[in-house]
Copies of this chain bind each other. A is one copy, B any other.
Amino acid sequence: MYELFFQKFNEKVSLNAEEEEIIKTYLTPKKLRRKQYLLQAGDVCKVIAFVEKGVLREYSLGENGNEHIIQFALEGWTISDLYSFLTGESATYNIDALEDAELVLISKSAHEELLQKVPKYEIYTRMQLTGAYLAMQKRLTSMISLSLEERYGNLTSIYPNIVQRVPQHMIASYMGLKPETLSRVRRKISTSK
């Protein structure tokens, strides 16, 4: 249990057996069915979720009810409404499962105790956050400077599996496009090769 979680953790900060045991006591496993919510906008986000298996998405709802996906989380990724988690205010994002999923949850109190008691958890958290920041910066840069073809190419080269596992109209949403437009972008790419 928690194999992937600790694998990823050790890639960032290497833990000894004792430290792993301590951390384990703060973790909670959770299974999520396809289409099930981990978080609904309006509720307070109580956990940080690490994905052991499956795919989740995080999205906001526009006033017309259309979904704007801001993040996918595949195996090895972490997902949460960080603002809500940290401040205790109600969440603006929804998180749900696109496939049946197995998660590792860290509650707010677990998170705080771990920060205090396990110095390496603090380092891990900082590295996580740094990585997430840099990834988002890259995405933003590509949004303001690249063509749709290039952006889609980037996406598929960085996350090769996502195309197989996530419906195309959701990838369109993630890119800020309409499904029809992404379909045409793909055709353009494939015919030009």
Contact = CB atoms under 8 A, between A and B. Distances in A.
Interface of A is mostly: helix
B134 A137 contact: no
A134 B82 contact: yes
Given A130-B82, A133-B136, A136-B133, A70 B122 contact: no
A140 interface: yes
A6 to B, nearest CB: 23
A140 B82 contact: no
A174 B7 CA distance: 38
Contacts of A139: 140
A153 to B, nearest CB: 15
Nearest to A83: B134
Q: How large is the interface on A (under 10, 10 to 19, 20 to 34, 35 or more residues)?
A: 20 to 34
A86 B130 contact: yes
A57 interface: no
A177 to B, nearest CB: 9
A143 B30 CA distance: 33
Contacts of A173: 144
A148 to B, nearest CB: 12
Given A68-B144, A144-B173, A145-B176, 9 more contacts: A82-B130, A86-B130, A122-B122, A126-B129, A129-B129, A129-B133, A133-B136, A143-B176, A144-B174
- When A and B form their complex, which 8 residue pairs have the shortest distance between CB atoms, in order from nearest? A144-B176, A68-B145, A133-B133, A68-B144, A136-B136, A83-B134, A129-B129, A70-B141
